[in-house]
Amino acid sequence: MLPAVAGFMVLVHLYVWWRLVWSATAHPPTRVVSLLALVPLTLLGVLSVRALLAVSFPAWLAWTGFLWVGTVCYLAFWLVVLEIPRAVGTLLPLRRGTAGDGTARRTGTGPRTRPRVLSIVALLATGATVGYGLHSALGTPNVHEAEIPVRGLAPGLSGLRVAVLSDTHLWPFLGEEEVRRAVEIINDNDPDLVVLAGDLVDAPVERIGDDVAPLADLRAEHGVVFVTGNHEYYHSSGDLESWTKRLGELGVRVLRNERVTVEQEGARLDVAGVNDAAGHAHGDGPDYEAALGGRDEDVPVVLVAHTPAQVFEAVEYGVDLQISGHTHGGQTVPLSYLRARETPVLSGLGRVADTRLYVTNGAGFYGPPLRVGVPPQIGLLTLRPDPAP
Identify any residues that bridge with 382 across adjacent strands, giving them in sequence order.
Answer: 147, 161
3 state SS of 289? helix
Contact 198, 256 (CB under 8 A): no
Q: What was the pLDDT predicted at 45?
A: 78
C-alpha to C-alpha distances, 163 to 80, 186, 240, 342, 368, nearest whole angstrom: 40, 7, 24, 26, 26
Q: Which residues pair with 143 in a beta bridge?
A: 378
Residue pair 294/182 in contact by the 8 Å Cβ criterion: no
Cα–Cα distance for residue pair 308/274, rounded to 1 Å: 12
Work out the angle at residue 118's Cα, subtended by the Cα atoms of residues 114 and 124, and round it to the nearest 5 degrees.
150
Every domain of the chain and the residues it spans = 2-99+106-135, 143-385
pLDDT value at residue 338:
84
For domain 143-385, the CATH class is alpha beta
Q: Read off the pLDDT of residues 258-288 as tens digits, 9 standing for 90 and up.
A: 999 999 999 999 999 999 999 999 999 999 9
Model pLDDT, residue 106? 46
Q: What is the pLDDT of residues 286-343, one digit of tens each?
A: 999 999 999 999 999 999 999 999 999 999 999 999 999 999 999 999 988 888 888 9
pLDDT (0 to 100) of residue 24 = 81
What's the predicted TM-score (pTM) here?
Answer: 0.91
- In this prediction, the residues of the chain whose per-residue pLDDT falls under 70 are 1-2, 49-57, 92-113, 389
CB atoms closer than 10 angstroms to residue 27: 11
pLDDT at 114: 73
**pLDDT, position 49:** 66
Q: pLDDT at position 212, please?
A: 98
pLDDT at 258: 98
How many angstroms separate the CA atoms of 373 and 370, rounded? 10
Q: Residue 1: what pLDDT?
A: 62
